[in-house]
Amino acid sequence: MPAYSVMAEDCCAAAPSRRRSCPDCGERAQSVDTLTVKALLTPEALARFEVAQMRFCTTPSCHVVYFDDEQVFGTADLGVAVWQKSAPGARVVCYCFGENESEMRAEIARTGTSDAVARVRAGIAARRCACEVRNPRGTCCLGDVTQATQALLAEVSSTVPR
């Protein structure tokens, strides 16, 4: 008989969090899967992590990214920059396919449009996305890419002389 014990299937099940609002900014936050949090924390932050139902704060001016009733992880605790928390300019918008603001802006300046949404949709259709792990929000980034494209189109069109 092996000296180890069989782990229960729910060994990593997260305890429900009662806190729904960010402890720093007070804004309501959305649930995020534990797998996302574990995948994106730095090794040092991961060493402090206790499995729990985490929340993701989207407030741009707030340093908090993930939290639960007991733990708080900020932007410095992640191995990637968080789109919602980073200054506009060259932010990564799609973590699976590398769509970022500076390349999208250059594409719009060059062609008058951006095909970023179509590229991301093609990647999704080919089942190549891993947003649940790569995107700090733990959800599909297509909405973020669409929002960024619309904002960049407006920005570029406002700078074009008439």
The reply to whether 119 and 88 lie within a common domain is yes
State the CB neighbour count (10 A cutoff) for residue 54: 23
Spatial distance between the Cα atoms of 129 and 7, rounded to a whole number of angstroms:
30
Q: What residue numbers bound the domain in which 147 lies?
A: 83-159
Domain boundary among 77, 107, 139: 77
Residue 6 above 60 pLDDT? Answer: no
Amino acid 157: pLDDT: 79
pLDDT digits (tens, 9 = 90+) for 145-159: 999 999 999 988 776
Query: What would the two tokens of residue 138 be?
Result: 């733990």
Whole-angstrom CA distances from 33 to 15, 59, 136, 138 are 12, 19, 10, 7
Amino acid 136: pLDDT: 97
Amino acid 156: pLDDT: 81
At residue 161 the predicted structure's pLDDT band, cuts being 50, 70 and 90, is low
The reply to whether 93 and 151 lie within a common domain is yes
The reply to whether 60 and 99 lie within a common domain is no
Spatial distance between the Cα atoms of 162 and 157, rounded to a whole number of angstroms:
9
Domain boundary among 77, 108, 136: 77
Q: Which pTM was predicted?
A: 0.82
At residue 82 the predicted structure's pLDDT band, cuts being 50, 70 and 90, is very high
Report the share of the chain in percent with pLDDT over 70. Answer: 86
Sign of CA dihedral 33, 38, 39, 41: positive
Check residues 17 and 21 and name the one with the higher pLDDT: 21
pLDDT digits (tens, 9 = 90+) for 109-135: 999 999 999 999 999 999 999 999 999
Burial class from Cβ neighbours inside 10 Å (0-12, 13-18, 19+) for residue 136 reads buried
Q: What total of structural domains would you count in the chain?
A: 2
**Position 8, amino acid:** A
The reply to whether 68 and 95 lie within a common domain is no
The reply to whether 131 and 106 lie within a common domain is yes
DSSP 56-85: E---TT--EEEE-SS-EEEGGGBSS--GGG
Q: Is residue 133 part of a domain?
A: yes
At residue 8 the predicted structure's pLDDT band, cuts being 50, 70 and 90, is very low
